[in-house]
Structure 1
Amino acid sequence: MPTSCTPAVERIARVLAGRQISQNGGGNEAHAADAVDAAWPDHIDDAYAILHTLREPDARMAQAGDVAVWRAMIGAVLERPVRA
């Protein structure tokens, strides 16, 4: 199974930053990579809030896979805080 080298929290924080900054996400900057690189740490708390919400899968998610594995995977992210 492919895995990312970038922590999930950072990936989520980068998406949140990009949505505010990039024209593609509703922001004003056409070339936002450097701004996102600088801003993603400001979104770490929001990323953790999203992951806390996802700790428990909904019914559709539970039907698609192993709930215990899902909880363990999200739990692993929440146990190891990422700080920029």
Structure 2
Amino acid sequence: MTSVSNTSPIERIARVIAAEMLSPNAEGAGELGRPVSEIVDTIWSRETDRALAVLRTLREPTATMIEAGRAAGDDPARIWSAMVNAAIAEASAPAD
């Protein structure tokens, strides 16, 4: 069974955007005086417009994503996961 999240995609994406901006590990703001996770808890909602932009972009899958979805079977969660994983793999592939 595929994992199902308890938080919305918008919140998860917004939290990642906020964390990437802040985390020293992600070359963000550096020394903040408190854990990045605490700051993200207070500011992630400011990034919802960017998160929505990401999801709007994903409405149109690539051919690779469509094929991955078809191969994933009938479970919508597995199809979604396969399509997103295909998109990630496309981004990681060397450019021609």
Tell me, which stretches of 5 or more residues in structure 2 are unaligned? 71-75, 81-96
- In the alignment, the residues of structure 1 paired with residue 60 and residue 31 of structure 2 have an alpha-carbon distance, to the nearest angstrom, of 36
Name the structure, 1 or 2, with higher relative contact order (CA <8 Å, separation 6+).
Answer: 1
Tell me the equivalent position of 1:78.
none
Name the SS for the 2:56 alignment partner: helix
Structure 1's consecutive aligned runs of 4 or more residues displaced over 2 angstroms after TM superposition are none
Tell me, which stretches of 5 or more residues in structure 1 are unaligned? 74-84
TM-score, length basis structure 1: 0.73
TM-score, length basis structure 2: 0.64
Tell me the equivalent position of 1:65.
69
- In the alignment, the residues of structure 1 paired with residue 17 and residue 67 of structure 2 have an alpha-carbon distance, to the nearest angstrom, of 28
Tell me the equivalent position of 1:76.
none
Pairing of 1:20-59 with structure 2 (within 5 A): 20-27=21-28, 28-29=30-31, 31-59=35-63
- In the alignment, the residues of structure 2 paired with residue 29 and residue 52 of structure 1 have an alpha-carbon distance, to the nearest angstrom, of 33
Identity %: 42
Q: Shift of the alpha carbon at 1:29?
A: 4.0
